[in-house]
């Protein structure tokens, strides 16, 4: 059946802010969906609260609402837009859950809206634990012994029945939030309590623990006719017990005979058919390693992180095909866009192996609990393609940007053999390194398998890498050995290091095509990966498609991590679009499978490879680009600048020297002097003693940070010598090469500006002001456009400084500058001559296509030619408020206190005519429930008491009950406030923990001088708030903004819904 004639206007729901468990993969899926719908001539209405996405870009849909994703808002959008259909399966769990709620309430029927992609019955069969189990039993598919319970008592009783350990899986939570493995009654009590609370339907599944079984996944697609195929199989290197999002995953499955493979494949088809899914579906199985016993773990009847991975691993666009199915097509009617002449109803077959490696945020959160289990903790991932597992693993490990090129972790080399074997028992982010180290120490594969349960196949392959390292170290380096090392994915740099020899027979990588069909058919879409082999298909492709267009290489931003998120992918994609518009051939190199930039039809050519100097050299060798662009790929791409310049490659835009000038303290100071622009006093130091001396000279408080970092990594505010000493020790341990910067900390208003410059003129789309004062990382601050509290004089100064700096640095393209306004003076904090986190949202709300303009300028155009004027762009009618979103509930033991180190994983936007409404929308979108009654618990450091008082006073006036810790309570009582004092965590019960447990408290305001360490009182309060899903405010300014919003006599239902295509 072709396109359904009863579909004309479709509502697409996005997945909202990036959080752990729901990340960029849904921008990729949503973008494909929007395109697929538009291709069919359908009108698309899009709702997503996440402004950093490509899918909320004006070209992607006819109407775009960057509004909070909740039922009230969706209902109003449906009433306003009157779509005839709603696509539910492309917006992650968020989109799916909301769609189902709308359907179950009868709202969709009431408005004549058809539900596309999934129906409530299918979703219940897949997601309601009991119905799922019943469905599986009815079709003869084995499940793990389990029981759905709604109370802790029932959980404990069932665990007695099936014996410990048991796994707890809460129903309807993201990325398995609140789940875990319990080995005894005490642990089960804790996990089940937490899980029940987090589950929106207060249900958890208690399940027999089958840790150690193989974990195998299938991505399945089915159409309305019942045609069904599997796109890809995947095998988790980490056996059952580790969330698939935290596992190293290979595609296809490698340790299964055809019999086992077909058994599970048939089971997957059987399940998906029984559920009646029309679209994409992910099936996860546990397979007993020594028999044909298997069990279904879970089924996701929608596109997912795994489907994004499967799409990138095979070239098969699952989201696109799922969308076409949703609007009526059958698999055999949908062309395979990669080959151009086969159909979507065939199963991809691949002739390489893919490794997915997670990227965890533990470099930021040094005190976080790193143990991996059923709750996902990774913020992002990389994918590597190779002709051998060894090669793909080596590519993966250098793609995740941990500062290593091999599986050697320096700190492990110091440990004793016994400690290493002991460490194997830890299932955490470093396990692959520990295994490598153990193999190096001669621990045999059988022993490692016994401890880790990782299949011997993987361990033997890891051993091959260890053996190769040994051969290279022992020498001599023959050409044959060199070639084998290259096939195993070793960099020349590593080979030289290990062998101590120079390479006299260097080889360039060749490129092979990802074509969905293992070369059985000629493919049209040039999607390549590097390997060491004979035929170079990229070179052949280039020779066959020779044209006169200028070839431009764009470097992507690698894995999503805190500090470098989806915004940079947005920029890379826009850059590619602009290049194409200008008649250039746009070529992308990136390694992130979740993103739009690595979609096979985004660029003219895609190289799916690591972003290290050596890897990009090979691409440059085969492509011989006219120029390269580093500005849009975050620090990942910027880091390549020096290398590219040394190679003599034409870097478009701001020069390497200017980039360096902005990062190097000394040259930056000279530049500021020359422009007569002040900055907070600062010094550069290398050692602990120097740091203490410098801090005293400048005067406390001071800000410490290593140079060349992103997202405020390891950045702190120090108040005493002891602080400086403690943090210098951490910083030095992390990165010894770069100096540490010490600056005077000025507690003023933070202002941020993104500008586009062409060398002569500049254009500032807007000035943004942060709600939180300087000292909180800009990525974690609530950011407001246009600035609300700055005087014209201050604004003029900022504009003047921005122009001067852009000119002095000779910025060609984008520059991001952060200022602090302190005692009516403007100081420069930081200049980043590259794209920034705020570019997507400012582009959307101001209508200045920043990346597009910057790209065209890099190609030689001037601002004057481009039609957006110069100087400051006129302010629009709307106020936009960007609110950060955190994933603290996924990361145990992480202090939620905001500071100079970035902690947020994503962001949302509120847009309205007034600041107050925009802020309100932003807070709602970020997940604040905006409760106007209940309790407030206040516990603040002495410095903050004076300032917090009027804020709390207003909350009291609003009718909140005020609770406070003893010191704070005393302070408030003295001023006549009615406060209930509560005991500390360590005090006898009932103390503040009991209060938080009681459900009486809606807000916690908690600040402390010292934080981070999980043992500290303040951290315990804040963690408890996270566990109980209580809004916790750790900055006075955020608290004030929240109270302002709560005072507003409005609800979200009174506010205008803004279609951003119309502003």
Integer-rounded Cα radius of gyration of the chain? 28
Residue among 122 and 339 whose Cβ is closer to another protein: 339
Reference 448, options 463, 438, 433, 440; nearest CA is 438
Q: Residue 291, interface with another protein (CB under 8 A)?
A: yes
Report the nearest approach of another protein to the CB of residue 626 (Å).
29
| Contact flag: residue 517 with another protein (CB under 8 A) | yes
Contacts with another protein: how many residues (CB under 8 A)?
A: 55
Q: Does 450 bind another protein (CB under 8 A)?
A: no
Q: Tokens at residue 645, please? A: 């310049």
User: Judged by CB under 8 A, does residue 610 bind another protein?
Assistant: no
x/- mask, another protein, residues 311-330, rule CB under 8 A, reads: -------------------x
Burial of 688 per CB tally in 10 Å (0-12, 13-18, 19+): middle
- CA gap 512, 728 in Å, rounded: 46
Q: Which is nearer to another protein, 324 or 512 (CB)?
A: 512
Q: Which is nearer to another protein, 78 or 385 (CB)?
A: 385
Q: How many helices (H) and strands (E) does the chain have?
A: 38, 39
Considering only residues 332, 670, 800, 865, which one is a binding residue for another protein as defined by CB under 8 A? 332
Q: Can residue 520 be called a binding residue for another protein (CB under 8 A)?
A: yes
The stretch near another protein (CB under 8 A) out of 26-34, 339-347, 496-504, 846-854 is 339-347
Q: Please report whether residue 225 would count as binding another protein according to CB under 8 A.
A: yes
Relative to beta strand 43-47, strand 63-65 is parallel
Q: Which is nearer to another protein, 183 or 343 (CB)?
A: 343
DSSP H helices, 959-1035, are 966-974, 992-997, 1017-1027
Distances from the Cα of 591 to the Cα of 203, 381, 415, 530, 799, angstroms:
38, 9, 33, 12, 37
- Residue 667 is a binding residue for another protein (CB under 8 A): no
Please, are residues 1011 and 1032 in contact by the beta-carbon 8 Å criterion? no
Closest CA relative to residue 937, chosen from 972, 912, 892: 972
Using the rule CB under 8 A, give the single segment among 109-117, 289-297, 368-376, 956-964 that binds another protein.
289-297
Residue 233 neighbours by CB under 8 Å, 6+ apart: 216, 217, 218, 251, 252, 253, 256, 261, 264, 265
Q: Give the strands of the sheet with 716-718, arranged side by side.
A: 682-685, 740-744, 702-706, 716-718
* Interaction between residue 236 and another protein (CB under 8 A): no
* Minimum CB distance to another protein smaller for 183 or for 292: 292
Among 266, 413, 673, 1029, binds another protein (CB under 8 A): 266
Query: CA-to-CA distance for 495 and 365, rounded, in angstroms?
Result: 33
The single residue among 185, 351, 669, 987 that binds another protein, judged by CB under 8 A, is 351
Per the structure block, which two tokens stand in for 917? 């409404």
- Quote the tokens at residue 517: 């069909």
| Residue 271 touches another protein, criterion: CB under 8 A | no
Task: Based on the shown chain and the rule CB under 8 A, indicate whether residue 262 belongs to the binding site for another protein.
Answer: yes
* 350 contributes a contact to another protein by CB under 8 A: yes
Specify the residue, 334 or 661, whose C-beta has the smaller distance to another protein.
334
- What does the alpha-carbon distance between residue 326 and residue 163 come to, in Å, rounded to a whole number? 43
Pairing mode, strands 180-182 and 1031-1033 = unpaired
Secondary structure of residue 1012 in the 3-state scheme: coil
Structure tokens at 399: 């793609």
Tokens of 746: 């000025």
- When the beta carbons of 289 and 983 are compared against another protein, the nearer one is 289
Among 138, 186, 258, 1053, binds another protein (CB under 8 A): 258
Beta strands in 592-661 (DSSP E): 605-608, 627-629
Q: Which is nearer to another protein, 322 or 902 (CB)?
A: 322
Q: Which stretch binds another protein (CB under 8 A): 238-246, 513-521, 544-552, 780-788?
A: 513-521
Min dist CB 559 to another protein, Å, is 25
**Nearest residue (CB) to another protein, 33 versus 445:** 445
- Closest approach of another protein to the CB of residue 490, in Å: 16
The yes or no reply on residue 973 touching another protein (CB under 8 A) is no
- The smaller minimum CB distance to another protein, of residues 319 and 513, is found at 513
Select the span of 165-173, 347-355, 930-938, 968-976 touching another protein (CB under 8 A).
Answer: 347-355
Q: Work out whether 255 is an interface residue with another protein (CB under 8 A).
A: yes
CB of 365 to another protein, least distance (A): 35
Q: What phi and psi, each to the nearest 5 degrees, are found at residue 47?
A: -125, 125
The secondary structure element, H or E, covering residue 510 is: strand 510-513
Query: CA separation (Å) from 720 to 621, 695, 723, 943, 956?
Result: 52, 9, 5, 15, 35
Backbone dihedral angles phi then psi of residue 354, each to the nearest 5 degrees:
-115, 135
Q: Does the footprint of another protein cover residue 257 (CB under 8 A)? A: yes
Choice from 460, 973, 991, 1047 touching another protein (CB under 8 A) = 460
Among 265, 356, 398, 921, interactor with another protein by CB under 8 A: 265
Could you say which of 70, 456, 720, 991 contacts another protein (CB under 8 A)? 456
186 contacts: CB under 8 Å, gap ≥ 6:
none
By CB under 8 A, tell whether 413 contacts another protein: no
Closest by CA position to 10, among listed 317, 321, 328: 328
Task: Pick the piece of the chain touching another protein (CB under 8 A) from 21-29, 248-256, 850-858, 961-969.
Answer: 248-256
Binding to another protein by residue 175, rule CB under 8 A? no
- Of 256 and 651, the one with the shorter C-beta distance to another protein is 256
Stretch that binds another protein, among 276-284, 533-541, 1005-1013, 1029-1037 (CB under 8 A): 533-541
d(CA 366, CA 442): 30
Contact (CB, 8 A) for 314 and 234: no
Q: Is 387 in the site for another protein (CB under 8 A)?
A: yes
Asked if 352 is part of the footprint of another protein (rule: CB under 8 A), the reply reads yes
Cβ 525 to another protein shortest distance, Å: 16
Do 744 and 721 form a contact (C-beta atoms < 8 A)? Answer: no
- Max Cα–Cα distance, the chain, nearest Å: 84
The CA distance from 611 to 466, in Å, is: 24
User: Which residue, 258 or 1049, has its beta carbon nearer to another protein?
Assistant: 258
One residue of 70, 130, 202, 342 binding another protein per CB under 8 A: 342
Question: In the range 87-126, which residues lie near another protein by CB under 8 A?
Answer: none
> What is the rounded CA–CA span in Å between residue 600 and residue 340?
13
The nearer residue to another protein, 480 or 1049, going by C-beta atoms, is 480
Binding site for another protein (CB under 8 A): 225-227, 229-230, 233, 252-259, 261-262, 265-266, 269, 289-291, 330-332, 341-343, 345-353, 387-389, 455-457, 460, 512, 517-522, 533-535, 537
């Amino acid at each position: 059946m072709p396109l359904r004639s009863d579909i004309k206007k479709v509502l697409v729901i996005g997945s909202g802010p990036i959080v752990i468990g729901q990340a960029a993969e849904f921008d990729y899926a949503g973008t494909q969906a929007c395109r697929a719908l538009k291709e069919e001539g359908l009108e698309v209405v899009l709702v997503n609260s996440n402004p950093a996405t490509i899918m909320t870009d004006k070209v992607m849909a006819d109407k775009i609402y960057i509004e909070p994703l909740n039922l009230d808002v969706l209902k109003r959008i449906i009433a306003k837009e009157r779509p005839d259909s709603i696509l539910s399966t492309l917006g992650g769990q968020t989109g799916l859950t909301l769609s189902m709620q709308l359907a179950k309430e009868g709202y969709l029927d009431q408005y004549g809206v058809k539900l596309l992609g999934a129906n409530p019955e299918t979703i219940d069969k897949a997601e309601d634990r009991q119905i799922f189990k019943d469905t599986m039993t009815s079709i003869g598919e084995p499940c793990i012994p389990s029981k759905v319970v709604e109370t802790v008592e029932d959980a404990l009783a069932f665990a007695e029945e099936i014996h410990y350990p048991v796994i707890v899986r809460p129903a309807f939570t993201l990325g398995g939030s609140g789940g875990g493995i319990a080995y005894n009654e005490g642990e089960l009590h804790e996990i089940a309590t937490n899980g029940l609370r987090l589950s929106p339907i207060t249900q958890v599944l208690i399940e027999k623990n089958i840790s150690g079984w193989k974990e195998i996944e299938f991505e399945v697609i089915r159409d309305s006719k019942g045609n069904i195929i599997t796109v890809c199989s995947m095998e988790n290197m980490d056996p059952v017990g580790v969330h698939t999002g935290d596992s190293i995953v290979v595609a296809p499955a490698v340790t299964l005979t055809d019999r086992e493979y077909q058994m599970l494949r048939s089971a997957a088809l059987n399940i998906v058919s029984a559920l009646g899914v029309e679209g994409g579906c992910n099936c996860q199985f546990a397979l007993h390693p020594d028999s044909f016993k298997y069990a279904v773990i879970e089924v996701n009847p929608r596109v997912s992180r795994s489907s994004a991975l499967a799409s990138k691993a095979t070239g098969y666009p699952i989201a696109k095909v799922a969308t076409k199915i949703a609007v009526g097509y059958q698999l055999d009617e949908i062309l395979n866009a990669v080959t151009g002449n086969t159909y979507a109803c065939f199963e991809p077959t691949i002739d390489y192996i893919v490794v997915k490696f997670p990227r965890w945020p533990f470099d930021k959160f040094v005190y976080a609990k790193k143990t991996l289990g059923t709750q996902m903790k990774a913020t992002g991932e990389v994918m590597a393609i190779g002709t051998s597992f060894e090669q793909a693993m080596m590519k993966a490990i250098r793609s995740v940007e941990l500062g290593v090129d091999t599986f050697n972790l320096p700190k492990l080399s110091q440990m004793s053999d016994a400690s290493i074997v002991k460490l194997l028992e830890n299932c955490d982010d470093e396990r692959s390194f520990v295994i490598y180290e153990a193999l190096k120490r001669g621990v045999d594969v059988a022993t490692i398998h016994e401890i880790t349960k990782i299949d011997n196949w993987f361990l033997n392959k890891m051993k091959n890498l260890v053996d190769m390292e040994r051969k290279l170290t022992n020498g001599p380096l023959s050409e044959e050995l060199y070639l084998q090392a290259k096939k195993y994915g070793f960099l020349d740099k590593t080979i030289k290091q290990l062998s101590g020899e120079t390479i006299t027979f260097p080889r360039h990588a060749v490129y092979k095509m990802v074509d969905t069909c293992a070369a059985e058919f000629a493919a049209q879409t040039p999607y390549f990966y590097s390997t060491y082999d004979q035929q170079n298909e990229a070179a052949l492709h280039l020779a066959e498609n020779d044209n006169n267009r200028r070839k431009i290489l764009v470097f992507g931003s690698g894995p999503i991590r805190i500090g470098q998120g989806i915004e940079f992918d947005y920029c890379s994609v826009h850059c590619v679009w602009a290049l194409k518009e200008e008649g250039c051939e746009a070529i992308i190199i990136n390694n992130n499978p979740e993103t739009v930039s690595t979609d096979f039809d985004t660029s003219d050519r895609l190289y799916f490879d690591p972003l290290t100097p050596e890897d990009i050299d090979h691409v440059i060798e085969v492509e011989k680009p006219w120029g390269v662009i580093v500005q849009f790929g975050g620090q990942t791409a910027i880091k390549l600048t020096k290398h590219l310049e040394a190679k003599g490659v034409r870097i478009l835009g701001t020069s390497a020297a200017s980039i360096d000038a902005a990062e190097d303290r000394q040259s930056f100071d000279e530049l500021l002097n020359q422009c007569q622009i002040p900055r907070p006093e600062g010094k550069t130091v290398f050692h602990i003693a120097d740091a203490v001396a410098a801090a005293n000279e400048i005067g406390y408080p001071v800000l410490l940070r290593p140079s060349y970092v992103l997202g405020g990594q390891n950045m702190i505010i120090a108040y005493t010598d002891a602080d400086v000493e403690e943090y210098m020790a951490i910083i030095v341990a992390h990165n010894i090469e770069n100096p540490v910067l010490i600056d005077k900390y000025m507690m003023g208003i933070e202002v941020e500006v993104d500008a586009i410059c062409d060398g002569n003129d500049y254009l500032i789309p807007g000035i943004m002001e942060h709600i939180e004062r300087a000292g909180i990382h800009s990525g974690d601050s609530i950011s407001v456009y246009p600035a609300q509290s700055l005087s014209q004089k201050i604004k003029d100064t900022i504009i003047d400084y921005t122009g001067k700096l852009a000119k002095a640095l000779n910025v060609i393209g984008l520059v991001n500058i952060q200022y602090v306004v302190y005692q009516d003076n403007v100081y420069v904090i930081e200049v980043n001559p590259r794209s920034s986190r705020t570019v997507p949202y400012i582009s959307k709300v101001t209508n200045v296509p920043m990346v597009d303009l910057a790209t065209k300028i890099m190609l030689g155009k001037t601002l004057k030619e481009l039609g957006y004027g110069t100087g400051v762009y006129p302010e629009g009618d709307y106020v936009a408020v960007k609110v950060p979103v955190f994933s603290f509930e996924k990361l145990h033991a992480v202090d939620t206190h905001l500071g100079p180190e970035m902690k947020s994983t994503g962001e949302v936007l509120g847009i309205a005519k007034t600041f107050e409404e925009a802020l309100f929308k932003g807070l709602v979108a970020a997940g604040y429930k905006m409760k106007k009654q209940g309790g407030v618990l206040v516990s603040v450091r002495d410095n903050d008491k004076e300032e917090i008082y009027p804020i709390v006073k207003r909350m009291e006036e609003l009718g909140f009950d005020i609770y406070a810790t003893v010191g704070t309570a005393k302070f408030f009582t003295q001023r006549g406030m009615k406060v209930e004092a509560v005991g500390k965590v360590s005090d006898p019960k009932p103390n503040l923990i009991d209060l938080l447990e009681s459900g009486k408290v809606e807000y916690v305001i908690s600040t402390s001088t010292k934080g981070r360490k999980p043992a500290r009182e303040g951290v315990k309060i804040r963690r408890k708030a996270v566990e109980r899903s209580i809004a916790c405010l750790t900055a006075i300014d955020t608290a004030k903004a929240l109270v302002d919003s709560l005072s507003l006599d409005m609800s979200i239902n009174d506010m205008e819904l803004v279609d951003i295509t119309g502003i």
